[in-house]
């Protein structure tokens, strides 16, 4: 195996012999299809494949039946039952630039005897391939791609995916049996959340949504599959069996790829029909692909290129396939977002909660238009799991909005001079011993006065989502802290601005802006202050819940862990964290200082006022003779009433003024609603 890895590196740099190329390609097929663990990029694989193809094309007598160009792999993972596809799932030929597409068009033109060809172009989703069979409108089987000839039967797991209909109206088109191809995906947001949950549990995040989707499909527990929120996009029909009605009535819909996609779409499948366009000229296809590459990040899914197909099914059949790929389709691959670099050093950063995060410093490398020089390693466990060493050559990936990530070290390139990464036992900033609480993956500095934590806490406090002090920012926090202009969160409100004027690069205008940002932040709602305190596990949503539960922030002192757990969506872990924060004297002193400096500490508690309107609901509509709408609403609330925003059976009183509209009409239809005017309303309060 080691030899083949070394040979791969050599062959990427020089020409190889026929036998060398065959052997290396077989090895990578095995890694990719069987082990699901690639060591080279698709692009590198294709370069090797093309080298072999070139030799074989020049010397057709050398082609053997066992060449990687002549077959579609054959080994399988043995865990699931293996089932044959009705039609082999071939992989697509790849292209990397407009010239490749134009060359493909030229080849097609010859193969298709210069018939007029149109092209469909659609996004190439980066997921896990599947094949579905429907018989008499029912989903009867779902399978992985496997080696292309047979895959694993994963029907039970497939059934967990909401976007795959369990039955579909194919019979309406006269279709008795159909085999459909598609891709299982995790959208970017769910992928990010999934990775966050892995990181929280101290597990290694996954490199891309494809790995996450592929892994999910092979899980043994269907309920867990459901939780992953997988999605399916179907984009190809490989087999179709029509009944008599279908043969007579619907052949025209089945004449084109775009027509077939429309049928799938109409039968309730998610398809790329909306992103797809059909062109008659290859130049237009090229432009579409180039334009789509600039918009790739706007899609909710990761895409790694475009798929261009001959739209006419008859011509597809005419030009046929090689043993490796169809001649009527080609993938246009976007620029790679994976690259290799060298691991130069690992720095250990202290976060605002004291967590120690190892950060790899790598030789700067451009990936997908961004230069990456710093990559988080998340925690000690991941360093060990990947056996990363300083000096290693590493594969770095940056997929979409996901932060850059080290896929793995290329251990075959080690020289023996690589150095093990030693995790510190003391805080790199304050020197206190680090602690790893049981069941957690992260080491922490628990010294609350640790400088690194103090600075990080201030940065968080002034940030956009917290107190939103515009122009303050991380750099200024670090600078002012270093200059001893600020030293903790409350000191932000007693900055000596004359000292900032003495610093390089600060004009009066920027100082004025900073000062007004600080001043304005005093009036922020309490939820922003609570979020800004940086209490562990307290995100923006929890902060809002807490702010709503209190009259002032100091009320939180009186909440027991049980009280906190009564609040919406607050679990044990969060409750304990909030409880201990508000039972720490230093924290309470800090809050008192903030209150003294005029920072708003008043909560948004809407106490159910007890009064004569307790338990009653009100809605005001139209213009009232004397009261403004807002004043009337306030009166209702002051007497314990609750305001509703629309007419429903939950409404008790509709208070109607001049030119009341649809709300009145609607309320008249619900017998339980009492329709009153302003005078009635005022009388109710008086009585
Ligand atoms: Zn420390």
**DSSP characters for 445-502?**
---TT-HHHHHHHHHHHHSTTTT--TTTHHHHHHHHHHTTS--STGGGGG--HHHHHT
Distance 485 CA to ligand 1 centre (A): 21
CA–centroid distance, residue 353 to ligand 1 (Å): 10
When pLDDT is cut at 50, 70 and 90, the band that residue 399 belongs to is low
pLDDT at site 77: 42
CA of 430 to the centre of ligand 1 (A): 4
User: What pLDDT does residue 207 have?
Assistant: 66
Residues with Cβ within 8 Å of 622's Cβ and at least 6 positions away in sequence, in order, are 656, 657, 658, 659, 660, 661, 664
Which candidate, 170, 124, 147, places its Cα nearest to that of 74? 147
- What are the pLDDT digits (tens) for 201-220? 555 667 678 888 888 887 77
pLDDT for the residue 609: 63
Tell me the β-bridge partners of 125.
Answer: 303
pLDDT band for position 311 (cuts 50, 70, 90): very high
601 closest CA partner among 547, 540, 539, 536: 547
Cα dihedral value 172, 177, 178, 179, nearest 10 = 160
The pLDDT, as a whole number, for residue 6 is: 86
Q: Is 124 a catalytic residue?
A: yes
Q: How far is the CA of 349 from the centre of ligand 1 (A)?
A: 10
Rounded Cα distance between 400 and 238, Å, is 31
613 in helix, strand or coil?
coil
The residue ranking higher by pLDDT, 141 or 199, is 141
**Ligand 1 mean position to 425 CA, how many Å?**
11
List pLDDT tens digits, range 315-367: 999 999 988 889 999 999 988 788 899 999 999 999 888 889 899 999 999 88
Helices (H) and strands (E) in the chain, counts: 25, 22
Tokens 């932040």 belong to 521
Structure tokens at 623: 């213009």
Contact 548, 523 (CB under 8 A): no
- Ligand 1 center to residue 479 CA distance, Å? 19
Residue entry with tokens 């000096």: 391
pLDDT mean over 73-84: 59
Q: Measure 449 CA to ligand 1 centroid, in angstroms.
A: 8
| Alpha-carbon gap, residue 625 to 632, rounded angstroms | 11
* Residue 485, C-beta contacts closer than 8 angstroms, at least 6 positions apart: 495, 496, 499, 500
Average pLDDT over residues 491-503: 93
pLDDT for the residue 375:
92
Which of 42-46, 517-521, 561-565, 641-645 has maximum average pLDDT?
Answer: 517-521
Confidence band of 184 (pLDDT split at 50, 70, 90): very high
At residue 418, does pLDDT exceed 80?
Answer: yes
**Model's pTM, two decimal places?**
0.53
Q: Which residues contact 108 (CB under 8 A, 6 or more apart)?
A: 117, 310, 319, 327, 328
pLDDT in tens, 506-548: 899 999 999 999 999 999 999 999 999 988 888 888 898 899 8
Would you give the distance in Å from CA 571 to the centre of its chain? 24
Q: Which one of the listed residues 124, 188, 309, 333 is annotated catalytic?
A: 124
Q: Report the Cα–Cα distance between both ends of the chain, in Å, rounded.
A: 91
Residue appearing with tokens 């527990």: 221
pLDDT of 626 over the 90 cut: no
Contact 271, 235 (CB under 8 A): yes
Ligand 1 center–CA 435 separation, angstroms? 11
Task: Give the CA distances from residue 237 to residues 88, 89, 257, 576, in Å, rounded to whole numbers and listed in that order.
Answer: 12, 11, 9, 54
**Pairing state between β 138-144 and 128-135:** antiparallel
- Residue 496 tokens read as 């000596």
Structure tokens at 168: 């579909």
pLDDT band for position 30 (cuts 50, 70, 90): low
CA of 356 to the centre of ligand 1 (A): 9
- What pLDDT is stored for residue 75 in this prediction? 33
**Residue 51 three-state SS:** helix
Work out the pLDDT band at 74, boundaries 50, 70, 90.
very low
Given pLDDT bands bounded at 50, 70 and 90, which one contains residue 505?
confident
Cα–ligand 1 centroid distance for 350 (angstroms): 7
Dmax over Cα atoms in the chain, in whole Å?
105
Is residue 168 within 8 A of residue 270, CB to CB? The reply is no
Q: Measured in angstroms, how far is the CA atom of residue 576 from the centroid of ligand 1?
A: 22
CA-CA distance, 312 to 318, in Å (whole number)? 10
- What mean pLDDT is predicted for residues 666-674? 88
**Residue 627, pLDDT score:** 86
DSSP letters along 487-555, please?
A: -STGGGGG--HHHHHTSTT--HHHHHHHHHHHHHHTTS-HHHHHHHTT-TT--HHHHHHHHHT-SBGGG
| pLDDT of the residue at 31 | 67
Cβ neighbours of residue 129 closer than 8 Å, sequence gap 6 or more: 89, 144, 145, 181, 182, 183, 184
Cα 456 to ligand 1 centre (Å)? 12
User: How many Å separate Cα 80 from the centre of its chain?
Assistant: 29
Q: How far is the CA of 354 from the centre of ligand 1 (A)?
A: 7
Which of the residue ranges 275-279, 310-314, 364-368, 521-525 would you say has the lowest mean pLDDT? Answer: 364-368
Q: Compute the mean pLDDT over every residue in the chain, rounded to the nearest whole number.
A: 87
């Amino acid at each position: 195996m080691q030899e083949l890895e070394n040979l791969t590196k050599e062959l990427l740099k020089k020409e190889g012999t026929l036998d060398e190329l065959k052997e290396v390609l077989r090895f990578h097929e095995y890694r990719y299809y069987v082990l699901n663990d690639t060591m080279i990029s698709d692009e590198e694989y294709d370069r090797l494949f093309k080298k072999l193809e070139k030799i074989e094309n020049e010397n057709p007598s050398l082609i053997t039946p066992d060449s990687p160009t002549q077959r579609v792999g054959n080994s399988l993972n043995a865990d699931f039952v293996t089932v044959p596809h009705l039609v082999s799932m071939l992989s697509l030929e790849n292209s990397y630039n407009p010239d490749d597409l134009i060359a493909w068009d030229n080849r097609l033109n010859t193969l298709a005897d210069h018939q007029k060809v149109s092209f469909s172009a659609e996004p190439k989703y980066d997921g896990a391939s599947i094949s579905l069979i429907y018989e008499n409108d029912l989903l009867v089987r779902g399978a992985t791609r496997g080696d292309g000839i047979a895959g694993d039967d994963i029907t039970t797991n497939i059934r967990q995916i909401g976007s795959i209909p369990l039955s579909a109206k194919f019979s309406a088109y006269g279709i008795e049996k159909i085999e459909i191809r598609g891709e299982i995906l995790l959208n970017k947001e769910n992928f990010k959340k999934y990775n966050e949950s892995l990181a929280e549990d101290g597990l290694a995040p996954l490199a891309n949504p494809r790995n996450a989707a592929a892994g999910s499909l092979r899980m043994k527990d269907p309920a867990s599959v459901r939780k992953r929120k997988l999605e399916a996009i179907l984009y190809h029909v490989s087999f179709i069996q029509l009944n008599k009605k279908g043969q007579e009535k619907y052949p025209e819909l089945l004449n084109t790829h775009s027509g077939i996609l429309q049928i799938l779409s109409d039968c309730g499948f998610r398809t790329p029909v909306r992103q797809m366009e059909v062109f008659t000229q290859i130049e237009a296809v090229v432009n579409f692909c180039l334009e789509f590459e600039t918009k790739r990040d706007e899609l909710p899914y990761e895409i790694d290129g475009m798929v261009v197909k001959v739209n006419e099914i008859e011509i597809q059949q005419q030009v046929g396939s090689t043993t490796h790929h169809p001649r009527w389709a080609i993938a246009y691959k976007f620029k790679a977002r994976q690259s290799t670099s060298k691991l130069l050093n690992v720095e250990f950063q202290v976060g605002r909660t004291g967590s120690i995060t190892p950060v790899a410093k790598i030789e700067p490398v451009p990936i997908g238009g961004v230069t990456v020089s710093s990559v988080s390693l998340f925690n000690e466990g991941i360093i060990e799991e990947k056996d990363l060493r300083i000096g290693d050559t590493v594969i770095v990936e940056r997929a979409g909005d996901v932060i850059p990530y080290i896929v793995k070290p290329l251990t075959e390139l080690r020289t023996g001079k690589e150095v093990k990464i030693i995790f510190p036992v003391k805080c790199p900033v304050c020197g206190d011993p680090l602690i790893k609480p049981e069941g957690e993956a992260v080491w922490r500095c628990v010294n609350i006065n640790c400088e690194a934590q103090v600075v990080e806490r201030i940065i968080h406090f002034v940030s956009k989502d917290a107190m939103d002090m515009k122009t303050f920012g991380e750099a200024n926090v670090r600078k002012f802290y270093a200059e001893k202009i600020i030293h903790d969160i409350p000191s932000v409100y007693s900055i000596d601005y004359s000292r900032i004027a003495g610093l390089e690069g600060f004009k009066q205008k920027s100082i004025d802006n900073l000062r007004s940002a600080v001043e304005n932040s005093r009036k922020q709602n309490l939820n922003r202050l609570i979020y800004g305190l940086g209490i562990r596990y307290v995100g923006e949503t929890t902060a809002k819940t807490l702010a709503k539960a209190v009259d002032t922030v100091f009320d939180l002192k009186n909440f027991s862990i049980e009280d906190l757990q009564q609040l919406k969506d607050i679990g044990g872990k969060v409750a304990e964290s909030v409880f201990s924060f508000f039972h720490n004297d230093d924290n309470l002193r800090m809050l008192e200082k903030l209150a003294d400096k005029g920072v708003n500490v008043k909560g948004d508690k809407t106490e159910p006022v007890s009064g004569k309107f307790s338990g009653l609901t009100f809605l005001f509509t139209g213009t009232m003779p004397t009261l403004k709408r807002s004043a009337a609403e306030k009166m209702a609330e002051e007497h314990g009433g609750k305001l509703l925003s629309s007419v429903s059976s939950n409404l008790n009183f509709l208070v109607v003024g001049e030119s009341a509209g649809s709300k009145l009409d609607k309320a008249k239809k619900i017998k339980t609603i009492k329709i009153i005017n302003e005078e009635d309303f005022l009388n109710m309060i008086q009585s």
